[in-house]
Structure 1
Amino acid sequence: MDFAYSPEQADLSAHLRNWMDAKVTKAQARAWEADEGNYPVRLWNLMTEQGLHAVGLPEEYGGAGSGVMDQMIVCRELSRNLGGLSFVWGVSSFCAKSVALYAQEVMKRELLPRLAAGEIRMSIAVTEPGGGTDLLGGMRTTASKVDGGWRINGQKIWSTGAKAADYLLVLARTDPHASKPSRGVTMFLIPNPAAGLQIEAIPKLGMRSMSSCSVFLDDVFVAEDHVIGEVNRGWYQMLPTLNNERIMIAAMCAGVMDAVLEDALEYMQHREAFGRPIGQFQALQHYIADIAMWRQQASLMTNHAAWLQETGQPCGTESMMAKVVATEHAGHATDLGIQILGGMGYAQETDMQRYWRDVRLFRIGPITSEMSRNSIAESFGLPRSF
């Protein structure tokens, strides 16, 4: 089976790489990332001008009509220069998939063209302070039926980009008596601002201008047409979005490894020690070989998972595997990248430290490597271990 890019996909990849180097440089990414708490609106607008927000959305709603493979290519090429700031594009893209699949027609007609045109942004608000990886078992946010809609109460955490979002995709428990934690939860789209909605940024290690937030919901009213999908089946309908998110995280890490190789090789060819370029040192050559092999593994597994999802085949285990392999390899690769650059790898004037800070998150979220391994093992018939 050949998971190489088609000629059209190869053209897309090359076009985006050239555009990034001309319009969205690594130096710009360093400046945006360091501007803590200030959402990079200019970056969002550049993506809008390039038509990137339309990727993955249906043509009948103003989208580009492209599939998961094209999304993956976009994510990878953005991440080569942006690192984790490719989430500026990615978060709304994840949410848009749920809207396109499950929203009522009136909401699709209203929101998807605006998403495709970059006129509005969305953010996911799912994780809770007392739950973490135990997303369903720890869910305390509730939604109660009232005239014309629902009232939502609770708290979410680690909602990336929430302060700058026009809508939040929120998961809340609508049936407290459901027989299983995965049942009785519903997806809602909450406008921001809204009465009773409060959002606070959380200072963090990486992606500092792309705030991750605590979201407080105090009797927030949501209209009936803002229910996404079927009531009480929100978890099952969110799964395609979660698989897509894991594939995009894997693509993001492959893009970061593209950057690590590129920056390390450039440095090794020009930096001299002991009278010769450090690229002649065997130990550092081994580091390059390791990074290249890790990137290849991540690329093949990511392409495979994306192909499965695009062709409508089950991809839960494969997307989880790609996410674990890509995130862990990216962590090793960025650490070696710092080692290759030595003291300059630790300096904020270079990008290695930024790559390292960004990819460290992805062994934790959106699902930990440990929980991912549990799910992978279960897919082979082993009993649940948690």
Structure 2
Amino acid sequence: MALEVTDAIGRNADPLAESPEQLELRAMIRSVIEAAAPVDRTLELDDREEFDEVLHKRLAELGIMSIGAPESDGGMGDIREQATVVEELAAGPTSMAINMVVHYMGVEVFSSHGSPAHKAQWLGRLLSGDAKFSFALSEPGAGTDIARGMRTSARNVDGSWVINGQKTWISGATHADVFLVVARTAPIQRSAVEGVTMFVMPADTPGISVRELPTVAVHGLSTCEVFFDNVTVPESAVMGEVHQGFRMLFGTLNRERINAAAGSIGAARGALEYAVNYANERQAFGRSIGAFQAVQHRLVDGALAIESARGLVARAAAVEAAGGRADILSSMAKVAASEAAVKVTTDGMEILGGAGFSREIPMQRWFRDVRLWVFAPLANDMVRNNLGTTLLGLPKAF
């Protein structure tokens, strides 16, 4: 049983302490992981680059897919419970945590902006786990500056929309049942965020093709290119307002950053606990290497980084759940958590030495997987640029 490093921290008096219901949810997810996705099975699926359908089905049976949707739509909980789920999954099967970040984006968009028809066709299936969602935004020539660089276009032809273009770095596209596709529907004029529209389309719509990309990490969830060749969808496929799709995504992207930060914390926590256990057990020079000051300092610094990031995530999630403005806090949380995860997993690999180089041990998987969150959903350098302007009032750097 892994040492629960962070459980040593007294949180009973913490004003941001989890509610009994959230603690119960956390315990439930841990139990599910232990039963359905133990370390050996997760490593095996990672080696085979295979999505864990068994774990996905079990999470769906427990109602985890419905977290964040309004009760009127059949949902429960909010971003705080989502972050709990993502953190716990990232401490084990990290690929499923990333799948849930994408899934919860779909829940938010369909709940907030979906038409009655969209909800009737897709939202219930997403909440029950009967359908999988993929979000097609990034493009080969546009990731950070996606609104300005977007080349995927949609033209209105005789009452239908015809979409052409290419998206890349799209998570879960190979097993998605429904895509949310963002395309330019009007030329850039005053602002690049204007003239962009969201479209809902079944993954089997004629003209859509998917190619899986060979990635260095997150092997349990496909990363893909998606091509649109004269894909024709009806007017009813528009999500929200025509030309206003990018603005509608802003709130969703805030939540994505919070969940990405929670995932970073989970993977960092899992790696730290593994490294602490290893340091206590590994003998050298007549004692455990955990007795060496250099090793202790690395592990303590990792715990400091995790807990510092955890406070930002908790604050951002609390503000978001209360309907406040969480963009600055969510950005700070994403940077702090992702960089904590990189530090902890790098130190973990070095503390384990040759053992860390083995694919039979999970440290190398955490080490690879957490690199994603340094540049996704937005590169940390760009997040810092935004914070320089929005938080510190400095001149715009881009």
Work out whether residues 47 and 89 of structure 1, in 8 Å CA contact, stay in contact via their aligned partners in 2. Answer: no
* 3-state SS, counterpart of residue 219 of structure 1: strand
Work out whether residues 44 and 89 of structure 1, in 8 Å CA contact, stay in contact via their aligned partners in 2. Answer: no
2:96 paired residue number = 85
Q: Distance in 1 between matches of 2:103 and 2:29?
A: 19
1:96 paired residue number = 107
Q: Is the aligned partner of 1:245 residue 2:256?
A: yes
- Mean Cα deviation higher: 260-269 or 151-160: 260-269
Alignment of 1:185-196 (within 5 A): 185-196=196-207
Work out whether residues 358 and 364 of structure 2, in 8 Å CA contact, stay in contact via their aligned partners in 1. Answer: yes
- Mean Cα deviation higher: 51-60 or 351-360: 51-60
1:74 paired residue number = 85
1:310 paired residue number = 321
Q: Is the aligned partner of 1:7 residue 2:20?
A: yes
1:327 paired residue number = 338
Work out whether residues 275 and 348 of structure 2, in 8 Å CA contact, stay in contact via their aligned partners in 1. Answer: yes
Task: Give deviations 1:109-151, integer Å, cap 9, x for gaps.
Answer: 2211111110000111101101121111110111111234311
Task: Give deviations 1:81-104, integer Å, cap 9, x for gaps.
Answer: 112431222212211210110011
2:68 paired residue number = 56
Q: Distance in 2 between matches of 1:333 and 1:39?
A: 26
1:140 paired residue number = 151
* 3-state SS, counterpart of residue 213 of structure 1: strand
Task: Give deviations 1:268-299, integer Å, cap 9, x for gaps.
Answer: 22111112121211111111101110110111
2:394 paired residue number = 382
Q: Is the aligned partner of 1:23 residue 2:7?
A: no
The structural deviation recorded for 1:177 is 4.7
Question: What amino acid does structure 2 have at the position aligned with 1:30?
Answer: L
* 3-state SS, counterpart of residue 342 of structure 1: helix
2:48 paired residue number = 35
Task: Give deviations 1:30-72, integer Å, cap 9, x for gaps.
Answer: 1111112x33322321222222111112222222x21111111
Work out whether residues 137 and 181 of structure 1, in 8 Å CA contact, stay in contact via their aligned partners in 2. Answer: yes
Q: Distance in 1 between matches of 2:170 and 2:319?
A: 28
The structural deviation recorded for 1:313 is 0.5
Work out whether residues 62 and 112 of structure 1, in 8 Å CA contact, stay in contact via their aligned partners in 2. Answer: no
**Identity fraction in percent:** 38
Q: Is the aligned partner of 1:165 residue 2:176?
A: yes
Q: Distance in 1 between matches of 2:173 and 2:99?
A: 11
Question: What amino acid does structure 2 have at the position aligned with 1:6?
Answer: S
Q: Distance in 2 between matches of 1:383 and 1:56?
A: 36
> Taking structure 2 as the reference length, what is the TM-score of the superposition?
0.93
Task: Give deviations 1:148-192, integer Å, cap 9, x for gaps.
Answer: 431111110000101110111111111115321110101111211
Q: Is the aligned partner of 1:114 residue 2:122?
A: no
- Mean Cα deviation higher: 366-375 or 82-91: 82-91
The structural deviation recorded for 1:234 is 0.6
Q: Distance in 2 between matches of 1:31 and 1:90?
A: 22
Q: Distance in 2 between matches of 1:191 and 1:84?
A: 23
Question: What amino acid does structure 1 have at the position aligned with 2:311?
Answer: L
1:236 alignment partner, one of 219, 241, 247: 247
> Taking structure 1 as the reference length, what is the TM-score of the superposition?
0.96
Unaligned runs of 5+ in 1: none
2:56 paired residue number = 44
Q: Distance in 2 between matches of 1:315 and 1:219?
A: 38
The number of residues matched between the two structures is 384
Q: Is the aligned partner of 1:355 residue 2:342?
A: no
Q: Distance in 1 between matches of 2:374 and 2:137?
A: 18
Work out whether residues 201 and 213 of structure 1, in 8 Å CA contact, stay in contact via their aligned partners in 2. Answer: yes
Work out whether residues 99 and 171 of structure 2, in 8 Å CA contact, stay in contact via their aligned partners in 1. Answer: no
Two-structure CA RMSD over aligned residues (Å): 1.4
Q: Distance in 2 between matches of 1:22 and 1:266?
A: 21
